[in-house]
Structure 1
Amino acid sequence: MTFMAPIAVPATITERREDERYRRVLATGKLNLDGCEMFCFVRDLSVGGAKIETLTVPMIGQQLQFEMRGLGPCTAQVVWNRGFLVGLAFDSPQDLATVSDRGTRQGYCARAPRFATNRLAQFRVAGSLVAVELVDLSAGGARLRGAGLIRPDTPGCLILDGIPPRAGFVRWTRDGDIGFKFAPILDLPTLMQILT
């Protein structure tokens, strides 16, 4: 879920940005740097840029592609970094109305960025344990191949080496694949551990 609240900047602080920014966005995002996909959390967002948190910190001045739910992909430049926090300046202003849109416009449904993977996993559903392929992954869920026919809303548990089992439920089934929604969503270290 994306939450946005405007920041009130005290008069004693010199604010260099001309556009209004939003704090506590708490959305997941994807960076693409020279063909390498990296996961990030979006902490602040404005039409001109974003503050993100990522475990692989790009260098100041690097150009990259940024994507998040309802926005992107768009090109950006790294303008600062402190620890795991990174400041991005978008190459062109972005329309933030789509970020908070949850499908209210006909035919539109914003979704979190997906990361392709080909890991093997186990899926526990209806008392059975099935070997599956993890096709793609986001903080909110995964696409699984090989689980068989499973009805939507069926609870299940995804089991991957190195992380605790992740509970959730089946959202959709199509052409032998299922969409599995995590409850709760994955945190940054867990998602990075799965993707590396």
Structure 2
Amino acid sequence: MTYMPPIAKMGIVAERREDQRYRRVLATGKLILNDCEMFCFVRDLSVGGAKIETLTVPPIGQRLAFEMRGLGPCGARVVWNREHLVGLAFDTPQDLATVSDRGTRQGYCARAPRFATDRLAHLRVAGATVAVELVDLSAGGARLRGVEGLRCDTPASLIFDHIAPRRGFIRWARDGDVGLQFTPILDLPTLMQILR
């Protein structure tokens, strides 16, 4: 039998934050702790901090760097944790205008955090399968090395052992590297499974 903690009654917990929060369901982020990168989902975001969900929960008081699309890396510390949820307080207030900017400002393109890896995989394109090196990975896509001659917008699937193929399309190709955009984005357990 699974233990379910009691649900807090509305109005009992006082709001302690003074800054406005922005709900960010399915936004992805990265924690950098002692040169180790950890994936997280950003659930709430404000100029002063964030509520994140991560599989590896750092202790209260832990200092780390936090990064997400359009923000970071910025210094932060853990102020609370509960199961897989973690509250972060930023060292300095952050400009949230860059978080929602998807490239509307000239020369700026907000990207989801990338995780470096040297894992091998297979890419299936037009009925053929080729071995590739996974250079880096985010919830939204991957950089692959070892394949030539692919055109942008070509449908493709990335294949790993013991993980269902991840569909997407070729976003860019140059010098033997290709960018694969996932459709839909990876969920937290799948991303963590690939990065292990």
* TM-score normalised over the length of structure 1: 0.93
| SS of aligned partner of 1:60 | coil
Partner of residue 99, structure 2: 99
RMSD: 1.2
Partner of residue 147, structure 1: 147
- Aligned residue pairs total 187
Q: How do 1:28-177 residues align onto structure 2 when only pairs under 5 Å count?
A: 28-177=28-177
Gaps of 5+ in 1: 1-9
Query: CA offset at residue 24 of structure 1?
Result: 3.5
| Alpha-carbon displacement from aligned partner over 1:53-77 (angstroms, at most 9, x marks no partner) | 0000000000000000000000000
State whether residues 123 and 157 of structure 1, in contact with CA within 8 Å, keep that contact through their aligned partners in structure 2.
Answer: yes
Query: CA offset at residue 16 of structure 1?
Result: 1.1
| Alpha-carbon displacement from aligned partner over 1:143-164 (angstroms, at most 9, x marks no partner) | 0001211000000110011210
Partner Cα separation in structure 2 for residue 109 and residue 25 of structure 1: 20
| SS of aligned partner of 2:173 | strand
Partner of residue 195, structure 1: 195
| Alpha-carbon displacement from aligned partner over 1:136-194 (angstroms, at most 9, x marks no partner) | 00000000001211000000110011210011000001111000001100000000000
Which aligned segments of 4 or more residues in structure 1 are displaced greater than 3 angstroms? 10-13
Equivalent residue letter for 2:131: A
State whether residues 25 and 45 of structure 1, in contact with CA within 8 Å, keep that contact through their aligned partners in structure 2.
Answer: no
Query: CA offset at residue 25 of structure 1?
Result: 3.9
| Alpha-carbon displacement from aligned partner over 1:62-95 (angstroms, at most 9, x marks no partner) | 0000000000000000000000000000000000
Gaps of 5+ in 2: 1-9
Partner Cα separation in structure 1 for residue 142 and residue 39 of structure 2: 15
Partner Cα separation in structure 1 for residue 79 and residue 50 of structure 2: 10
2:57 paired with 1:21? no
| SS of aligned partner of 1:111 | coil
Aligned residues: percent identity?
Answer: 79
Partner Cα separation in structure 2 for residue 161 and residue 72 of structure 1: 33
Partner Cα separation in structure 2 for residue 54 and residue 140 of structure 1: 17
State whether residues 23 and 44 of structure 1, in contact with CA within 8 Å, keep that contact through their aligned partners in structure 2.
Answer: yes
Equivalent residue letter for 1:100: S
Partner of residue 4, structure 1: none
